[in-house]
Structure 1
Amino acid sequence: MKLVVLGAGESGAGTAVLAKLKGFEVFVSDFGPIKKEYKDLLNAHGITWEEQQHSQEIILAADEVVKSPGIPDKVPIVKALKAKHIPVISEIEFAGRYCKATTICITGSNGKTTTTSLIYHMLKSAGLNVGLAGNIGQSFALQVALENYDYYVIELSSFQLDGMYEFKADIAILMNITPDHLDRYEYIMENYSRSKFRVVQNMGKGDSFLYCADDPETLKYLPEYQNEAEYLPFSLNGPVENGAYSDGTSLHVKYNNSEFSMNIEELALKGKHNVYNSMAAAVAGHVLHLRKEFIRDSLANFQGVEHRLEPVVKVRGITFINDSKATNINSSWYALESMTTPVVWIVGGVDKGNDYNELMELVKQKVRAIVCLGVDNAKIHAAFDGVIATIVDAKSAEEAVKRSYELAEKGDTVLLSPACASFDLFENYEDRGLQFKEAARKL
């Protein structure tokens, strides 16, 4: 069997190693440069690779192709593969064939990294043999190849879900669906929403689907995606029969005659959006029959996720917060909503079809000044010029931090929450967040 892997990042390199160990004839092709660490990994396993090109003749001779999630379907090589009816799948689909472990799969437009990390923390605290994979941490395929975990907590982006066909989650969690990545979905919201619902495909008796009962887009499509799995809602709007809810002061879980309550003040993660994340994790813990003290302790002592509302430093009374992972409007809405002091807001990057009007009321209430961090900031200026008195532009994280510091007053918060992708000025959102933190710490 000839397997071609397109893209030699974390996902692609891991897939190649697993395929090689399973006896495939493997070829890895990356249209860009391949990082040294991945070249070393491929070489160590005797895998043939190319960079800065796609050799069409070799690729179109494949029996099957695994495509990295960052590669859109509209690129010429993927179109050519589809024209030849060569199956194109995701790393998760491929690795799932060889995975015997219990899978807990989390998707959603916002909150999925935090919820994934929180559930992983909970399972580890309970002493389970667990791996963290998908859109976070080490490649799922590489772990299936080299480790022997009993459980995997897997964060799934819509791009990963798009390439999944036979894969099945044992526990699936859908946090919410709000506009994101619409540039990959022909700017049609329904396409994106249906992509998210792929997380429930192939589920049946004995499986569990956790979903937010307060999310209108989820509720819109839910009736079409019923199967024999148990459906467990979580809500901030009052009691549910089986699942989780909050009454404003406490979080409650009801699951198969078991009840669990915890004061919201005890939760490590603050803010309304994090109550949803904590509820989803608590229900998952109950489905997995974890002891209540493990669930309670994990929700109380979780340290949070890097680049997600991450406190960085306080300089002369000004607090710097890194929320670089906020790459869409909804994420930045949550960030601004949770702020309790005046904000100097760093926003901008590669716009994915943003409607800044959704943030208008929060910006009027909370934002003192805006620093635009991007190559093209016209859309941000168009939305907020005349609404916010001071809007300045910056072309680097260092410049953005310097300008923010000058504009902030003692007691203010400088919030990097870009609402955009990072690829105009940075490698990725992590690079953006790290540069922001470094610049803030140098003040």
Structure 2
Amino acid sequence: MDWFKLSLQLNKFPVNRARKMLDEIDQIPVNQYQNFIETKKKEIVDYHLNNNNFYKGFIGDRSIENWEDIPIMSKTNLQQPLEQRLSDGFNLKNSYIGKTSGSSGHPFSFAKDKLCHAMAWEGFNDHYNWHGIDLNKSLQARFYGIPLDFYGNLQERIKDRISLRRRFSIFDLSEMKLQNFLDRFKKSKFDYLNGYTSAILLFSKFLKKKEIVLKEICPSLKLCIVTSERLFDKDKKIIEEAIGVPVVNEYGASEVGLIAFENPEEEWCLNSRDLFIEIVDKNNKTLPPGEEGKVVITSLFNKAHPIIRYAIGDIGVLSKKSTPKKPILESLIGRTSDVAKLADGKIVPGLTFYYVTKTIIDDTGNTKEFVVTQTKMDSFEIEYVRDTEFNTEETTKIAEAVEKYVGKNLKVNFKRKQSLTRSKSGKLKQFTSLID
């Protein structure tokens, strides 16, 4: 029984229709694919100009003659109540609603219509199938965090069971916890690992220290998928040696779905079926393959909420081997993350602060940006951009979240600023450790 697919269908996601549409897209000849992309680009822009007041206001009185006349949409543009950004006929009940992790320092809520979301999940499964992984049948060792509140935790546990995922919580990556991880692999027939790059890398270093190859104690393993953080070549080598299976790089974002996935030929293939992805310069003009610029994404099928020429916050380069049907990402700059080291020996991935940010995010969009810095073993500083200071109730709530997800007896200092310091690429790094 394909429990994951069944759960989507029970929640009225049109999976079969999505499957048919993707199959039809795949049948489009290479020499006609550019026409398909251009048609879908025009259709989605026209749809939102006719059915979405937020997008009509965003475009304003600009004259749109060419694609590059369309203004770039940033994350800050989306930091306003979600209800104000939905298209006519869509609401919080008949759409898929999610929140971004805030890993770039710009958290916001988003919506997808159910067909768009079903297409995204079918697309994930297609790409996983490249490597012999079936989301409906393959057992996943999931190196992610998990909400610690009762209902959030329960909801994720249920989703994990339905989706054939077994959670390896990355909130504590001390050697004792890593040994517990290892013991679980000895007892279960996992097909693949999936999770944050930094967490899987730490586990791999633990395995190498013990001179263990994971596949030798868990022969069913076929693949390791790393996501959410940049994968460096030297780290990929460490993981492959320790796990004993190929490592595949996934690039995605919750608001748009799968952006790029590594194929068996080690090409980082961009998703050209339901997304249009371009690289633009500082003047928002499309760059040719081989030139470095901002990654800008258009969701071609999302009618619930406009994601059109959306700057995701990364810098990338298209390969010169790219075609309209098979664009290839040559390189990507972004999503690196440090780890926090605590006095008691606990090691916590920087992306753990994703779960802390859930206490900062609010749908009114009051908190525009934030970054977290570990200044001492027991001290963290949160810098944020907001119209008003956090009040005592809010700072207490955030401090409690740090204690729950990171560790106890930690000092958290808050600094409200007019703007935050960015890297050379213009991207905010959500977490930085100053501890050697």
TM bin, normalised by shorter chain, reads under 0.3
Q: TM-score, structure 2 length as denominator?
A: 0.27
Q: Given the two structures, how large is their TM-score scaled by the length of structure 1? A: 0.27
**Structure showing greater relative contact order (alpha-carbon pairs closer than 8 Å, 6 or more residues apart):** 2
